Amino acid sequence: MTDMTEQRLSEILAAYGADPKRWPEHEREAATALVARSHEARMAVAEEAELDASLDLVDMEAAPSWLAPKIGAVLAEEASTRPLLSRFWPFGTLWTPAAGLVAAALLGMVVGTEIAPAPAEPGSDPLATIAYSALGVPTQEYLP
């Protein structure tokens, strides 16, 4: 019997499911012993059993026959393009930083258009007078 780690058990569960009959024969005994002594391993098997039960409910033969090749083509395209994209952009999805840049640009435009420039002559610009009073600067100093 070989030593079984929780990492290896999670790999077995991901590949073969929760049913010990499907696990590789040379690792089955060690895996079942680990499940018997480890609470975390039992929880992992229970989660995988829930997933197996959900997958068993899916009736693949009920799906339209024209849909299967299209799903396969989309999955193959994703598999072929994702590694190339991840080489150039290893930070995950592209929309998150793009949304941050758009939000920062919009905020900069709003703030830039709302701030009034300093008047050339004190009291000559009514918007500047309002801005000074909103900031708490005494307007008597700036009125003619």
For 131, counting Cβ atoms within 10 Å of its Cβ (0-12 exposed, 13-18 middle, 19+ buried), the class is middle
Residue 96 pLDDT more than 70? yes
CB neighbourhood size of 16 (10 A): 18
Could you tell me the pTM of the whole model? 0.41
Contacts of 30 by beta carbon, 8 Å cutoff, 6+ apart: 1, 2, 3, 4
Query: Greater confidence, 67 or 8?
Result: 8
d(CA 46, CA 68): 30
pLDDT (tens digit, 9 = 90+) per residue, 22-36?
Answer: 999 999 999 999 999
Q: Has residue 75 got a pLDDT over 80?
A: no
Between 53 and 118, the more confident residue is: 53
Task: Render pLDDT for 44-67 as a digit per residue (tens, 0 to 9).
Answer: 999 888 888 877 776 666 666 666
